[in-house]
């Protein structure tokens, strides 16, 4: 994701009612931040410009969504879609947090979430940065602390090295691999209902096969 300084981004986020500020305050009570508190919560970490999570929120009114993005300059783009696009305008089942995913266990309590989406996460190719990858064992340990017992992580990428690393990490973390494919768009089962992200559109357009795994904590 190319980052530009977007003038006014921080002020836009601060004023936006769907951007949750002081997020640690809601640890253990996230369900109550939604109109339908009985519904499960799914999050996307590193949501970028937000097409994926906005589409899911529109398609699944019975699920509550939280989009997490580290940079205000990126999150503001998703909010602009939400605010200006007729199809997203009336969504009541989505919230956003501008934060670094390494803080997740300080923001969510054990069992508070049912699903985590990771889409085209930064690869951090240098070995010494492996712990920063959102599919590293260290991150799976964080996800253990916030997901429900049978909660799942769904991960998509076009980066084969990162995908193979992630498969190893699922195993090392003691999670169960429920499904995997190295060619999502030609997989008759996993491609069903697939919602494309901005990066997925870009890289599949360049002819890159898309890889996907689904892992469950136990």
Q: Hey, which residues are catalytic here?
A: 122
Q: Measured between alpha carbons, how far apart are the two ends of the chain, in Å?
A: 33
Work out which of 13, 42, 48, 153 binds ligand SAM, going by CB under 6 A. Answer: 48
We find the least distance from the C-beta atom of residue 34 to ligand SAM, in angstroms, to be 21
Of the listed pieces 5-13, 22-30, 99-107, 163-171, which binds ligand SAM according to CB under 6 A? 99-107
- Member of 13, 41, 45, 210 binding ligand SAM (CB under 6 A): 45
Residue 1 sits in the site that holds ligand SAM (CB under 6 A) = yes
Q: How far apart are CA 90 and CA 58, in angstroms?
A: 9
Quick check: 59 and 140 in contact, CB under 8 A? no
CB 157 within 8 A of CB 181: no
**198 lies in the binding site for ligand SAM (CB under 6 A):** yes
Q: Which residues pair with 154 in a beta bridge?
A: 117, 214
Cα–Cα dist 215/218, whole Å: 10
Q: Which residues bind ligand SAM (CB under 6 A)?
A: 1, 45-48, 68-71, 74, 100-102, 119-122, 197-200
Q: Which residues are annotated as a binding site?
A: 44, 69, 100, 122, 126, 158, 197-200
């Amino acid at each position: 994701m190319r980052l530009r300084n977007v003038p006014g981004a921080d002020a836009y986020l601060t004023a936006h009612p769907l951007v949750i500020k002081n997020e640690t305050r809601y640890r253990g009570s996230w369900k109550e931040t939604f109109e339908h508190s009985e519904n499960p919560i799914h999050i996307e970490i590193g949501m970028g410009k937000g097409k994926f999570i906005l589409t899911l929120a529109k398609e699944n009114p019975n699920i509550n969504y939280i989009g997490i993005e580290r940079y205000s300059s990126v999150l503001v783009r998703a909010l602009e879609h939400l605010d200006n696009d007729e199809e997203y305008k009336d969504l009541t089942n989505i919230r956003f947090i501008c934060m670094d995913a390494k803080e997740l266990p300080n923001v969510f309590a054990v069992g508070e979430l049912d699903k985590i989406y990771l889409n085209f996460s930064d690869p951090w190719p240098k070995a010494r940065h492996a712990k920063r990858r959102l599919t590293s064992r260290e991150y799976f340990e964080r996800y253990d602390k916030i997901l429900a017992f049978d909660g799942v992580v769904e991960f998509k990428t076009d980066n084969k090295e990162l995908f193979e690393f992630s498969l190893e990490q699922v195993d090392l973390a003691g999670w169960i691999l429920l499904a995997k494919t190295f060619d999502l768009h030609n997989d008759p089962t996993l491609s069903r209902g697939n919602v494309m992200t901005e990066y997925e559109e870009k890289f599949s357009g360049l002819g890159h096969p898309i890889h996907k795994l689904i892992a469950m904590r136990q």
